[in-house]
Structure 1
Amino acid sequence: MPSRSSDDTESGADDHSGERVTVLGLIADPDMPETIAEYLAETLPEELDGAWRVEVDADPVTATLKGTAEILDRTAHKCDSRGWTYALCITDLPVRSEEGPVVADIDHDRGVAVVSVPGMGGLQTRKRVHQVIRQVLDELRSDHGRDPGRVRRQRRHGLSGRMIGVLAPIRRTAVETEGSHLDVRYVTPGRSGTLRLLSGMVRTNRPWRLVFGLSRALAAAVATSAFGLSSSTIWMVGDQLGIGFKVLATATAIAVLVTWLIAAHDLWEKRGDPRSDPQLARLYNASTVLTLIIGVVVLLAILFVVNFVLAWLILPASLLTGMLGTETGAGTYLAVAWAFTTLGGIAGALGSSLETDRAVRQAAYGYRESRRRAEHEEQDSDGA
């Protein structure tokens, strides 16, 4: 595919005033990348010099591709076919390299790049993507995109802030890959970069959405908790156990529910899968476990609040005092609500087996990738 010369780098359509418009195409994976792309389409034109138009194309092009070289080729092809000046692929696919997790790969000659959302980490993801996109556009518009000595551009747009530099620095490297147009790469090296990638994968999984996918588990937990309201034995257990045993019991309930979800819905990425990279499979599994833990903790927190309110409204203080032999206060109701919640959490594991696979499997990276691949292949066959 031909390279872009300096004469056509800023090519684009003319607006009504006759001013040349630079067209930026954002090719986004479904879900979170698409949401970010739509946000960028609204904010970027006002921040960039000159007249810009941003077009968003929601297309899971990464589902059937391996490596950023193939993604850049597909992005460049779509850029030319759509008549865009530049094209950026925003993906939630975790990308790794020998230097560390990849934040962005840039093809300066063809005016395209791929940006990996998980590489930004789990905090302030939209802001970080925005900063990286601005940096990538600076690279693409620069005549020095392949000059390894021009590293001062990395210090713009907040990519080298003090906290980022200490916790997970983003480094610019020049890349020379035989048979590839890739020439600039931004990475987060070291163990901190891997942890940042993992937190970004968990953030991309949107663990809070898992709560809505566990409605049957929540129903089973609430039903079991309601039974506990009528059991004086459970009241006494909640009041008598020490804090250490309570923490251990809560951790056990979380572990049981997470393990049951993984087993019942086949969420574990198997290393024997021929399409699976062993190191990537470990990242997938770690992100799935963390996502489920966060989702289950949120579920139990909701259940705890419900149980506390029910106990406060239904159980008179005089009744608890008579049964427990101690003065009843807010701490007593908290202890009783904890007992109901722990019992309900374990029962919720049984209810989780009744959930639809699709509702729960959204927490697994491998499932989303497989689903997108199947949908992409189905669209290709329909088009053919």
Structure 2
Amino acid sequence: MPESTPREDTPTSTVGLLADPGVPRQIAESIGSRLSIDLQDEVGGRWSVEVSEETLPIAPDGAIPLAERTPELLSRHRWNRVVYLTDLTQYRDDTPIRYLLAEDESSVVVFVPAIGLTRPSASVRRLVRDILVAYHRDSQLPDHRMPGPLGRIRMLAGMVRSNRPAAMGRALRGCTAVGMASGAFGIFFGSVWPIADSMSYLRLAAVSVSVVSALSAWLIVRNGLWTRRRNLAPQSGTLDNASTVVTVWTAVALMHVVLFIGLAALAGVVVEPSYLAGQLGHATSVRDYLVLGWFSASMGTMAGALGSNFDDETVVREATYSRRWHQRRLMFDDYGS
């Protein structure tokens, strides 16, 4: 068992934790101090982990040439090992992989999306620890592959997390503004109220799913987010388009929720309960205002397609993907036209 407290004269081994901006940088900052303790407990000696945000260039084949840059990085930063966290992905024989270790084992690239959605920081820390421990003990490395449907599902979830659907939602300002204005017609015009009142929760949910799906499809087509199979960048895999669909659908669904909250609140302020009861022919409750806001939000979401014409295509593309995925798609002309 390694000593928990190293001697004062024990040399320090330094691991450089490079990270892409966004989710990888957040993970790196959250695991740095704990990772050094893990290595000290498992391997022994003194360990230091230095976090640095640095974006390495993408090679012509779509991969990250970390091994080629490792000598320069180790010399410049005076590190002993370098670990690079990226939100790009890579495959071997059409199977997603979690990491790629250099032949001399002095550097390793960890593909954060392959870690999945659940507790990514803890999972990345455990993976990096196991790789470094295996190297120092000359033992079995953790499996780098993610085979089967479950591996692809985890990869898809990680890719969507890196894409940050909420950021895309914030980029759809024109879409949201037109949606709110259009949905307000459902609040101010009483002819809409009986229609909303007559709808069951199941029908309202079906309408919501339909309009969110329709607007999502329109945004993907209008902004050239769909990638044709022949244009896919090397090693990007077929999950590229799947992550685009899930990211855009989630962003539009969040916009739909924002419209629902805003329009339901507007209905509560504008429409008197007694007047609403007279129009509907029965006593009213909070439920009626929520249903009215829900149906009006669906109307507004559908009208958001018009508002999308006011949103800049470049801004939407940059917001849909992480910075590194956007760079790779530009590099391989993966934005359809």
Give the TM-score category using the shorter length: 0.7 to 0.9
Gaps of 5+ in 2: 1-7, 332-337
Q: In the alignment, which of 274, 293, 297 is matched to residue 341 of structure 1?
A: 297
Point out 4+ residue stretches in structure 1 off by more than 6 angstroms: 372-375
Shift of 1:55: 2.5
Letter aligned with residue 257 of structure 1? L
Alpha-carbon distance in structure 2 between the residues aligned to 1:119 and 1:329? 47
Q: 1:282-321 alignment to 2 at 5 Å?
A: 282-321=238-277
Residue 34 of structure 2 is matched in structure 1 by 43
Residue 190 of structure 1 is matched in structure 2 by 148
Letter aligned with residue 248 of structure 2? L
Distance 1:364 1:221, change over 3 A: closer
Distance 1:101 1:363, change over 3 A: farther
Residue 306 of structure 2 is matched in structure 1 by 350
Distance 1:110 1:244, change over 3 A: closer
Distance 1:209 1:366, change over 3 A: closer
When the two structures are aligned, how many residues end up with a matched partner? 320
Report percent identity of matched pairs.
30
Shift of 1:366: 8.9
Q: 1:148-227 alignment to 2 at 5 Å?
A: 150=140, 154=142, 172=143, 186-227=144-185
Q: What do the CA deviations read for 1:171-201 (whole angstroms, capped 9, x no partner)?
A: x2xxxxxxxxxxxxx2221111011111110
Q: In the alignment, which of 2, 7, 16 is matched to residue 25 of structure 1?
A: 16
* Structure 1 position 259 matched with structure 2 position 254: no
Residue 233 of structure 1 is matched in structure 2 by 191
Shift of 1:91: 1.0
Alpha-carbon distance in structure 1 between the residues aligned to 2:56 and 2:64? 13
Q: In the alignment, which of 288, 293, 302 is matched to residue 332 of structure 1?
A: 288
Letter aligned with residue 32 of structure 1? V
Shift of 1:289: 0.7
Residue 276 of structure 1 is matched in structure 2 by 233
Distance 1:364 1:270, change over 3 A: farther
Letter aligned with residue 253 of structure 2? V
TM-score normalised by length of structure 1 = 0.76
Residue 94 of structure 1 is matched in structure 2 by 89
Alpha-carbon distance in structure 2 between the residues aligned to 1:280 and 1:138? 30
Distance 1:34 1:366, change over 3 A: closer
Distance 1:367 1:81, change over 3 A: closer
Of stretches 320-329 and 104-113 in structure 1, the one that deviates more from structure 2 is: 104-113
Alpha-carbon distance in structure 2 between the residues aligned to 1:357 and 1:63? 24
Distance 1:356 1:87, change over 3 A: same
Residue 165 of structure 1 is matched in structure 2 by none
Residue 118 of structure 1 is matched in structure 2 by 113
Secondary structure of 1:25 counterpart: strand
- Aligned 8 A contact 1:71 1:114 in 2: yes
Secondary structure of 1:115 counterpart: strand
Secondary structure of 1:64 counterpart: coil
Secondary structure of 2:101 counterpart: strand
Shift of 1:287: 0.3
Alpha-carbon distance in structure 1 between the residues aligned to 2:208 and 2:119? 30
Q: In the alignment, which of 128, 133, 137 is matched to residue 133 of structure 1?
A: 128
Gaps of 5+ in 1: 1-16, 145-149, 155-171, 173-185, 376-384
Distance 1:221 1:370, change over 3 A: closer
Q: In the alignment, which of 58, 61, 69 is matched to residue 56 of structure 2?
A: 61
- Aligned 8 A contact 2:27 2:120 in 1: no
Residue 73 of structure 2 is matched in structure 1 by 78
